[in-house]
Chains A and B, each alone.
Chain A
Amino acid sequence: MTEQTGAVGTAPHSPAPDGTDCLIEAHRVVRSFGQTPALRGASVMVTAGEILAVMGPSGSGKSTLLHCLAGILAPDSGEVWFDGRRIDAMGEAERSALRRDQFGFVFQFGQLVPELTAEENVALPLLLGGARRAAALARARPWFGRLGLDGLEQRRSGELSGGEAQRIALARGLVAGPRVLFADEPTGSLDSLAGELVMNLLTAAGRDQGTTVVLVTHEPRVAAYADREVIVRDGKVNSLAAGRVGS
């Protein structure tokens, strides 16, 4: 747990859609890459414990939004709050510590470290957080059973299928018990069946641990695992509200 330093304050306190407090809030976030704007005033709220799908066409800014929410990117303007702390105002070292201690990540391509075994990959966030090797590996091992990966502990990434590698990446994202799991197209490189397995495990593990999940996807079948979805279009966020279904 990182000691709260610096940018502690009061979030703008917009009510979440269900009336509960937000864990993450972004307000009027603007972010460009060179002359190309990616976010043009994006605002979104994420409630503690919910699974939120962030959808949108390619190039809409949804991954940039995830990176800003997760403290990977600093916005050009606007505010990003996590649990009462303004993370857009933090320095890189503080944001890095926040990511390590509070967040987990899963990306489209597992991005396992090829030199490490599967269990070392899973244990990596714990090792980077200062845990002793034996203790980190002991915490990593139960994830192999939970995610149907028994027997793969000593394999390296080149010896794993895409689906297996992605489940290892999921275990790595969850092993430290993060408060938020950020998943960017976690099934984007998998076939339907392998993708479904990853999503079943991701949502079940997230709910078991009470982990808030922010899930970027362009696939409706993946978004359907979420509690709620927002759509990013032209760098802004639209919330969808279903109307009454007629004939």
Chain B
Amino acid sequence: MSVPLTLLGLLEREPSHGYELKRDYDAYFGRGKPLPFGQVYATLGRLARDGKVAAGEAEPGAGPDRKRYVITEAGATEFETWLAEPVMPEPHLQTVLFAKVVLALMLGRRADQYLDTQRAAHLQRMRELTELKQKGALVDALLADHGLFHLEADLRWIDMTAARLDALARAVSQPVPEVTGGSR
């Protein structure tokens, strides 16, 4: 989660005080990890230095937080560019799951038992997310769905791997071919 870009997005919605930005960030994006006030103001300071937001005049009243921040043209352009870009598809080609399976097979351990244990852990987490979906707000459901679909993808990989364990065991017991030609 990019804090600067998320704050820019909240400012694109409407000019806001720092405490309003923190409140909305925590409500929609914090998920149990509230943004410290210090980080809010440090981020706003950097964004102002880089010309992406402008701080209004300090408003009369008590407390330190009396400036309203407004997104600038440069800030809005950066935010729009970021919003339009697809997120890097992460193929996760070297996951911990993968490494554990290969190492278990190399060492002659019970990879099937490891996969079963992992499957149970994944399903337990999916149950928790499903409960969150059923009891929480629609925004919670949206986030839970993202987790559920990713966990489901992992589970499909686990099922496919479990079905191929014998062949995989043979494959990882072969000597690694020599790399010929080229340089590193």
Instruction: Tell yes or no: B155 within 8 A of A by CB.
Output: yes
Question: Are B152 and A221 in contact (CB-based, < 8 A)?
Answer: yes
| A-B CB pair tally, cutoff 8 Å | 46
Question: Are A220 and B121 in contact (CB-based, < 8 A)?
Answer: no
Q: Which of B117, B121, B148 contacts A221 (CB 8 A)?
A: B148
Residue of A nearest to B129 (CB): A224
Interface bin, chain B: 20 to 34
Question: Are B127 and A224 in contact (CB-based, < 8 A)?
Answer: yes
Instruction: Tell yes or no: A225 within 8 A of B by CB.
Output: yes
CA distance A219 to B126 in the complex (A): 12
Residue of B nearest to A200 (CB): B134
Looking at A57, A220, A241, A243, the one whose CB has the most chain B CB atoms below 10 A away is A220
Interface of B, helix, strand, loop or mixed by DSSP: helix
Question: Are A242 and B124 in contact (CB-based, < 8 A)?
Answer: yes
Chain A residue numbers with a CB within 8 Å of B121 are 242-243, 245
Question: Are A243 and B122 in contact (CB-based, < 8 A)?
Answer: no
Query: Please, what's the 1-or-0 string for A34-58, where 1 marks a CB less than 8 Å from any CB in chain B?
Result: 0000000000000000000000010
Per the 8 Å Cβ criterion, residues 5-63 of A in contact with B are 57
Given contacts A200-B134, A224-B123, contact A240 B152 (CB under 8 A): no
A contact residues vs B (CB 8 Å cutoff)? 57, 200, 219-221, 223-226, 229, 231, 238, 240-243, 245, 247
B contact residues vs A (CB 8 Å cutoff)? 96, 116-117, 119-124, 126-127, 129-130, 134, 148-149, 151-152, 155, 159, 163
